[in-house]
Amino acid sequence: MPFNSLAFALFFLALLVPWALVPPGRRWAVLLVGSYAFCALGQPSAVAFLAAATVYAHAIAIRMAHAPGSLGRRALLWVGVAGILGLLLLTKYLDFLLSSAHAAIGAFAHLEVYRPLAWIVPLGISFYSLRLIGYLLDVAKGRTAAERHLGVFAGYVAFFPELLAGPIDRAGGLIPQLRAPESFVEARVARGLTRFAWGLFKKVVIADRLSLFVDPVYADPTSFRGVSLIVASVFFAFQIFCDFSGYSDMAIGVGEVLGFQLAKNFDRPYHSESISEFWRRWHMTFSSWLRDYVFLPLAYSSARWAEERSLLGIRLREEYWSYAVATMGTMLLGGLWHGASWTFVAWGGLIGSYMVFSRFTKKIRSRWVRAAGLHRVPRLRAVLRVVSVFVLMDVAWVFFRARTLRDALYVLTHLLDGTGPYVARLATTGISGFSDRAVLQPLLLGHSLGEFATAVGAIALLEGVHFLDCRGGLYARLMARPAAIRFGLYYALVLLILAFGVFEARTFIYAQF
């Protein structure tokens, strides 16, 4: 049940009635029933997996809380994490593992054609698995107390605004709110509805409109070349951002209406000046989860391993070795989490390679910057860094969007086909060249000039809002304006959604993971 649907609007309105009537201390029950209804309406079979994983993790956490020593807690932790990971591997990755093994063996022996397993990945399992694993690790480390009330804990795991695509709030931050959510406050409800509307705008006006240009190209990339591939790839960078951050804004907005303060998930990632900064500002709850539960343990263990060791006769430097191992391990795992496909593994591996290369060449690049005199023009340097990060991420997004590695490699190797003559032609004709159909055709990808201009204008509006919010507090500044200005902007946003939104049934990209 996507947020951008009439079904969700009716569901949420129906939920608000008992939510308003029930005392705050009992609202966890309304939320629990509503969250399981939300899951059942989306995929009835997923309810059993959600309930089983919840009861299992709850029982393990309670046992850990009563375990007499650290050895017992550690054993229970391994059992708990293995159980959740086993369920995730079985439901999401078994077909990928079997098909990969079949392809590897088939390279040396004749095998029958592999037949994919005919089952559907349970709704939300990628997200609530991370939530449960993080919870078990926090309980084992003493960072979070084990929640004894099964109903409250089940409401946390199944929390419907975050079930499909996050944010991934930690138990220590959300469970206390579930026990005593705030009552309706007009200012907070208005803020939540505004946040929801902005997320809806990003989804239906920008992301879904850009998908009209992107989808045909990536469905059959060999039919396109050069400028068309560049346009589709750049548009996808904004599509994936607006689709996912739009969902997060809508989820946070729904939470605010109900009285919850949910974690921020995006912070203008395309304004980042390094790949590491981009990753910290993109899907922030997921990147912080990977940092705390994967990267740091890997870094500590690999640093200890590197002590007094050498590789090919070269003494290992602990800080470089640990960073490289932890970064590549984390990003490969992060890529695989997104989907059971080698394209996602390549996407994660490429971003990890960017980070490692950046860390290892930091001193050399600093010398180049000083030699070029860029240290004397920090604003120009910042712009160049932002542009370079966007280009590098756009290359990585090709692997994320492509159906196969072969398609991704085709796109990357044909991006510049014919672009030289195309740019030279524009340089000689100027803006008048856009009246030539031969010039417009590669840009429009089969759409009208008006549709293309609408897509570009929507991106420009998005970046304009990001620029105004570069110092934060944009909403607070908006609320300080007179009511006439505020409501004028609200109506303008609604009119833009109604006038330019694409209201076909298009699911959120991250909800598919």
131 and 62 both lie in a single domain: yes
Closest CA to 40 of 104, 150, 103, 123: 123
pLDDT band at 265 (very low <50, low <70, confident <90, very high): very high
- Residue 510 scores a pLDDT above 80: no
387: number of Cβ within 10 Å: 12
Residue 342 lies in a domain: yes
pLDDT band at 420 (very low <50, low <70, confident <90, very high): confident
| Mean pLDDT computed over 504-509 | 70
Q: Which one of 147, 181, 215 terminates a domain?
A: 181
151 and 41 both lie in a single domain: yes
Residue 390 lies in a domain: no
Q: Is 338 noted as a catalytic residue in this protein?
A: yes
237 and 286 both lie in a single domain: no
What pLDDT was estimated at residue 289?
96
Distance CA 317, CA 325 (A): 12
| Mean pLDDT computed over 130-134 | 96
Residue 406 lies in a domain: no
Q: Give the residue numbers spanning the domain of 104.
A: 6-181
166 and 30 both lie in a single domain: yes
Contact call for residues 166 and 226 (beta carbons, < 8 A): no
- Residue 69 scores a pLDDT above 60: yes
- Residue 308 scores a pLDDT above 60: no
What pLDDT was estimated at residue 312?
46
Tell me which of 338, 375, 414, 466 is the catalytic residue: 338
pLDDT band at 37 (very low <50, low <70, confident <90, very high): very high
pLDDT band at 477 (very low <50, low <70, confident <90, very high): confident
Q: Apex CA 366: angle with CA 363 and CA 371, to 5°?
A: 130
Distance CA 405, CA 398 (A): 10
pLDDT tens-place string over residues 200-238: 999 999 999 999 999 999 999 999 999 999 999 999 999
- Residue 342 scores a pLDDT above 80: yes
Closest CA to 38 of 10, 74, 79, 69: 10
Residue 56 lies in a domain: yes
* Burial state string for 60-76 with b = 16 or more CB within 10 A and e = fewer than 16: bbbbbbebeeeeebeeb
Contact call for residues 56 and 88 (beta carbons, < 8 A): no
35 and 164 both lie in a single domain: yes
Please tell me whether the peptide bond between 167 and the residue prior to it is cis, using omega within 30 degrees of 0. Answer: yes
* Burial state string for 454-483 with b = 16 or more CB within 10 A and e = fewer than 16: bbeebbeebeeeeeeeeeeeeeeeeeeeee
- Domain count for the chain: 3
Contact call for residues 389 and 274 (beta carbons, < 8 A): yes
Structure tokens at 69: 């020593």
Closest CA to 335 of 323, 324, 349, 325: 349
Q: Which residue has the higher pLDDT, 5 or 345?
A: 345
Residue 396 lies in a domain: no
pLDDT band at 356 (very low <50, low <70, confident <90, very high): very high
Q: Which residue has the higher pLDDT, 45 or 433?
A: 45
Contact call for residues 453 and 434 (beta carbons, < 8 A): no
366 and 256 both lie in a single domain: no
Distance CA 30, CA 11 (A): 13
Q: Which one of 385, 405, 436 terminates a domain?
A: 385
Q: Which one of 181, 200, 217 terminates a domain?
A: 181
| Mean pLDDT computed over 257-268 | 93
260 and 283 both lie in a single domain: no
What pLDDT was estimated at residue 112?
67
Which of 99-113, 352-366, 419-433, 462-476 has the highest average model confidence (pLDDT)?
352-366
| Mean pLDDT computed over 256-285 | 94
- Residue 183 scores a pLDDT above 80: no
Contact call for residues 64 and 77 (beta carbons, < 8 A): yes
Residue 10 belongs to what H/E stretch? Answer: helix 6-21
451 and 360 both lie in a single domain: no
225 and 166 both lie in a single domain: no
Distance CA 393, CA 354 (A): 9
Tell me the pLDDT of the chain averaged across its residues: 88
* SS3 state at 413: helix
In this predicted structure, which of 47-56, 306-315, 395-404, 455-464 has the lowest mean pLDDT? 306-315
Residue 276: left if φ>0, alpha if ψ -120 to 50, beta else—which one? alpha
Q: 259: Cβ–Cβ under 8 A, 6 or more apart, which residues? A: 24, 177, 181, 182, 183, 184, 185, 188
pLDDT band at 322 (very low <50, low <70, confident <90, very high): confident
221 and 131 both lie in a single domain: no
pLDDT band at 357 (very low <50, low <70, confident <90, very high): very high
- Residue 371 scores a pLDDT above 90: no
Residue 376 lies in a domain: yes
Q: What is the Cβ-side half-sphere exposure of residue 130, based on CA atoms within 13 angstroms?
A: 27
211 and 341 both lie in a single domain: no
pLDDT tens-place string over residues 79-125: 999 999 999 999 898 888 887 786 777 666 666 666 666 678 899 99
Residue 280 lies in a domain: yes
Residue 404 lies in a domain: no
369 and 291 both lie in a single domain: yes
